[in-house]
Chain A
Amino acid sequence: MATTHNVQRVEAEHTSFGRTTVYEGELLRHSAYTRVVHWLVALTFLLALLSGFALFSPWLYAWIAPIFGSGARARLLHPWFGIAFAIAVLFQVRGWAYQMRWQPKDREWVKHAKDYATKTDEPEPEYVGKFNGGQKIWFWVMAWSAVIFLVTGVFLWFPEILSRTAMWICYFFHDLMGLIMLGGFFIHLYEGTSGIPGTLRGMLHGTVTRAWAWTHHPAWYREVTGRDPIRDREQDGGQLSR
């Protein structure tokens, strides 16, 4: 049994994608491969988002388009950023589809989304596993957005494939999806950083603290530590649950 004074290094993961070192008091959250894929998705998404929103509104055009050199350059690059995004998403879906599968307990989370936002439910209830319902929704919205972006985008890129009518229909849904993804992206950014402190390191270094897991993902905490999160809470004399 290790002591808290002695920091013990536990090599948790080592693949050709990188190495994740888990120290005592930490849990492995995301493997190096998962992190690489996530940041590839993030990077390509951001480029596609920026170049796309440059052309989205006259009010954004004048200051976002110059980032890429000009409006014409933003337009030229945007489809390629989009294709890179779709490919990155493909790898992410391959890696996460099983863990992100929709389960009855996720409906429970959605029902309590308001409690979650107003923080009346902390610590997190038992039904939240490695990913909560909100994270799963974001994941699938993103995965399907890639499909919608790709299909509508191809017809915007090559309008001669279909008709001019198809082009404005695609334009509309491409726009709509862009807005949904912009909103979702801001929420994701907030939740992943200042909204839930201790989350970002999971995606940067691969590890989170056991306390973080116990607080935000109790079912996952039980799964990886073998301990009962509810019993752990009760033994603390109810102090943890306010």
Chain B
Amino acid sequence: MSEEKTLQTKAISAHPGSVPGRHMQREVEVCKMIDATTCIGCKACEVACVEWNDLPFGETTFDNTYQTMTQTRWNYWNLIKFNEHKRADGTLMWLMRKDQCMHCADPGCLRACPADGAIVQYENGIVDFQQENCIGCQLCLSGCPFDIPRFNPTTKKVYKCSLCSDRVGQGLEPACIKSCPTGCLHFGTKAEMKDLAEARAKQLRDVSGFENAGVYDPDSVNGTHVIYVLHDATNPEAYGGLPKTPRIPFVYTLWKPILKPLSLFTVFAGVLGMFFHYVSYGPRRTVPPPRKDEHGNDTQRPAR
């Protein structure tokens, strides 16, 4: 038990007030580094993910590529995206990219989530879904710039890669890292992995002739805790639709955290104003109607 360590929480979805226990412990930011240039598409990581997370088996699909299925599923969090890329000189090139949650430093899913505690971000950078708090609204799907969260219509909960938070919490590397036979997957602190990735990119540029080789760690989401080394960092879209500039919709960055509470406050201020309208102007009361007509007769007649 002495070895057991609790992951420190950094952010909680839809949580009013501060995050309990924040800054109580120092915690390094972890990172998964994926060297897309040495991935051979063996899918050991896919199997390891399904194994470790005890995910029920799903049907695979075949569409004349090396891809297991068209996209990740609620029970398949890790998928090698296979792309046949045509280079400028007309030759072909296979691009393999391990697709999973990027564990953004600024997670769009967490911003979009309306359920308290359904999504948490740990100090170490892992973004984790807490299914017991998930209400199945699927708004995280629209907040994620990487199209990662997947809805299970039976349980009405959303699932995705947890970066094996259960393993990382115990000082182990994620299951996918452990299974990788080529060493294209690395796991460590964000700083270490960034250095390693930059060194490898430099090697690709200087030695292997990939002059556009670089590291994918997009600033638009304040960086990610899964980073890639790409042969051509100027064209990440070629790797199965990796967005060049992933953006969280303004609805979740401007409207939801700022303008929406202001608007709600305005409405409640209006209710308060209405009360004081009642106090200062009073109700529009009924004025007695005319009792007599010009002949002195009573005007009260049966209705209709």
- CB <8 Å contact, A168 and B143: yes
Complex CA distance for A2 and B156, rounded to whole angstroms: 66
Q: Contacts of A175 on B, CB cut-off 8 Å? A: 255, 260
Is A57 on the interface with B (CB-CB < 8 A)?
Answer: yes
- CB <8 Å contact, A232 and B290: yes
Complex CA distance for A165 and B243, rounded to whole angstroms: 14
Q: Contacts of A179 on B, CB cut-off 8 Å? A: 263-264, 267
- CB <8 Å contact, A182 and B136: no
Decide yes or no: A212 and B301 within 8 Å by CB, A57-B264, A71-B115, A168-B142 being known contacts.
Answer: no
Is B6 on the interface with A (CB-CB < 8 A)?
Answer: no
Q: Contacts of A224 on B, CB cut-off 8 Å? A: 303-304
Interface centre among B138, B264, B281, B289 (most CB of A within 10 A): B289
- A2, A194, A207: which contacts B302 (Cβ < 8 A)? A2
- A164, A207, A210: which contacts B141 (Cβ < 8 A)? A164
Instruction: For the complex, count residues of B whose C-beta is within 8 A of A.
Output: 55
Decide yes or no: A58 and B301 within 8 Å by CB, A159-B142, A172-B251 being known contacts.
Answer: no
Q: Contacts of A111 on B, CB cut-off 8 Å? A: none
- CB <8 Å contact, A211 and B289: yes
- CB <8 Å contact, B255 and A186: no
- CB <8 Å contact, B303 and A197: no
Stretch in B99-107, B219-227, B271-279 with 4+ CB within 8 Å of A = B271-279
Is A118 on the interface with B (CB-CB < 8 A)?
Answer: yes
- CB <8 Å contact, A168 and B300: no
- CB <8 Å contact, B286 and A212: yes
In the complex, what residue of chain A is closest to B293 when comparing beta carbons?
Answer: A235
Q: Contacts of B292 on A, CB cut-off 8 Å? A: 235
Q: Contacts of A165 on B, CB cut-off 8 Å? A: 142, 249
Is B15 on the interface with A (CB-CB < 8 A)?
Answer: yes
Instruction: For the complex, count residues of A whose C-beta is within 8 A of B.
Output: 68
Interface centre among A26, A123, A168 (most CB of B within 10 A): A168
Q: How far is the CB of A221 from chain B (nearest CB, A)?
A: 8
Q: Contacts of B298 on A, CB cut-off 8 Å? A: 1, 3-4
- CB <8 Å contact, A57 and B294: no
- CB <8 Å contact, A236 and B300: no
Interface members, chain B 121-167 (any A CB < 8 Å): 133-139, 141-144, 147, 156
- CB <8 Å contact, B287 and A211: yes
A 47-60 binary contact with B (CB < 8 Å = 1; else 0): 00000000111110
Complex CA distance for A123 and B285, rounded to whole angstroms: 9
Is A12 on the interface with B (CB-CB < 8 A)?
Answer: yes
Complex CA distance for A232 and B156, rounded to whole angstroms: 65
Interface members, chain A 142-178 (any B CB < 8 Å): 156, 159, 164-165, 167-169, 171-172, 175
Complex CA distance for A195 and B139, rounded to whole angstroms: 39
- B115, B141, B288: which contacts A211 (Cβ < 8 A)? B288
Interface centre among B251, B261, B284 (most CB of A within 10 A): B284
Q: How far is the CB of A217 from chain B (nearest CB, A)?
A: 11
Complex CA distance for A146 and B231, rounded to whole angstroms: 51
Decide yes or no: A233 and B142 within 8 Å by CB, A119-B282, A172-B251, A182-B267 being known contacts.
Answer: no
- A24, A72, A171, A172: which contacts B134 (Cβ < 8 A)? A72
- A28, A62, A182, A190: which contacts B303 (Cβ < 8 A)? A28
- CB <8 Å contact, A8 and B302: yes
Complex CA distance for A44 and B292, rounded to whole angstroms: 45
- CB <8 Å contact, B139 and A171: yes
- CB <8 Å contact, B283 and A58: no
- Beyond the given A10-B302, A62-B16, A72-B134, could you list 19 further A-B residue pairs with CB under 8 A, ordered by the A residue number? A2-B300, A3-B298, A55-B115, A55-B137, A56-B264, A61-B116, A71-B114, A71-B135, A72-B135, A159-B141, A175-B255, A179-B267, A186-B267, A187-B274, A198-B286, A209-B289, A211-B286, A216-B286, A240-B288
Interface residues of B (CB under 8 A from A): 14-16, 112, 114-116, 133-139, 141-144, 147, 156, 249, 251-252, 255, 260-261, 263-264, 267, 270-271, 274, 277-278, 281-290, 292-294, 297-304
- Some 27 contacts from A to B, beta carbons below 8 A apart, are A2-B302, A4-B298, A22-B303, A24-B300, A56-B260, A57-B264, A59-B16, A71-B116, A71-B135, A75-B137, A117-B281, A164-B147, A168-B112, A171-B139, A175-B260, A196-B284, A209-B289, A210-B303, A211-B287, A211-B288, A215-B284, A215-B286, A215-B287, A225-B301, A232-B293, A236-B290, A240-B288
